[in-house]
Amino acid sequence: MKMKTRGPLITLGAVAVLGIALWLGNVFQEQAPVAAPAAESVTTPSAAAPTTTPSPPATGFPAKADYVGTVPTATGVITLEISLDGGKAIAYACDGNSVEVWLRGDAEDGVVNATSQDKVSVLDGHLEGNAVKGLLTIGEKSWVFTAPAVEAPAGLLVYERESGGSDV
């Protein structure tokens, strides 16, 4: 008897096409890297008095926003998620192995500061364009991070419920 191979080959082809379509969708949805601004040359006339230009006003966070980034480490990658809601910040850092920490704090005037409950881990960041940039410290180790803004449903999903008159 001769086995029919047409069915499995069609299935294999359909899976390959689906995989390529998903890969292409991800490639085209990724943001292009921002080019570094060109250096500007400044010339001042010798007779002109020096002037000071006021710095632009601090840009605040949106009322509600989520930021997600990865932090390369010597042993892997820490995923960092920052959720901002009404001036409050909740952050979660995890490498899927030995690092897992929740941080809470404030986010005002484009600056976010959050600490872990045991005060061992700290996140200090600021809004720069469409991303939060800063320093993540866990224990005695620190890493610079950039966490771009993401759209829902990406970001932290925090479950809160009311129990006996208080939030849990």
Burial class (CB in 10 A: 0-12, 13-18, 19+), 105: middle
- Distance, in Å, from the CA atom of 118 to the CA atom of 120, rounded to the nearest integer, reads 5
Q: What DSSP state is assigned to residue 151?
A: -
CATH of 64-150, one of 3.30.56.10, 3.30.360.10, 2.40.160.90, 3.40.640.10: 2.40.160.90
Determine the pLDDT at residue 63: 84
Determine the pLDDT at residue 94: 93
CA 121 to chain centre: 17
Dmax over CA atoms of the chain, in Å, equals 99
Determine the pLDDT at residue 15: 72
What confidence tens digit (pLDDT) does each residue in 70-96 have? Answer: 999 988 999 999 999 989 999 999 998
Determine the pLDDT at residue 43: 44
The alpha helices in the chain, defined as continuous H runs, are 6-29
Pairing status of strand 88-94 against strand 64-72:
unpaired
- Distance, in Å, from the CA atom of 58 to the CA atom of 74, rounded to the nearest integer, reads 34
Determine the pLDDT at residue 144: 96
**Residues of the chain falling short of pLDDT 70:** 1-3, 13, 16-19, 21-59, 152-168
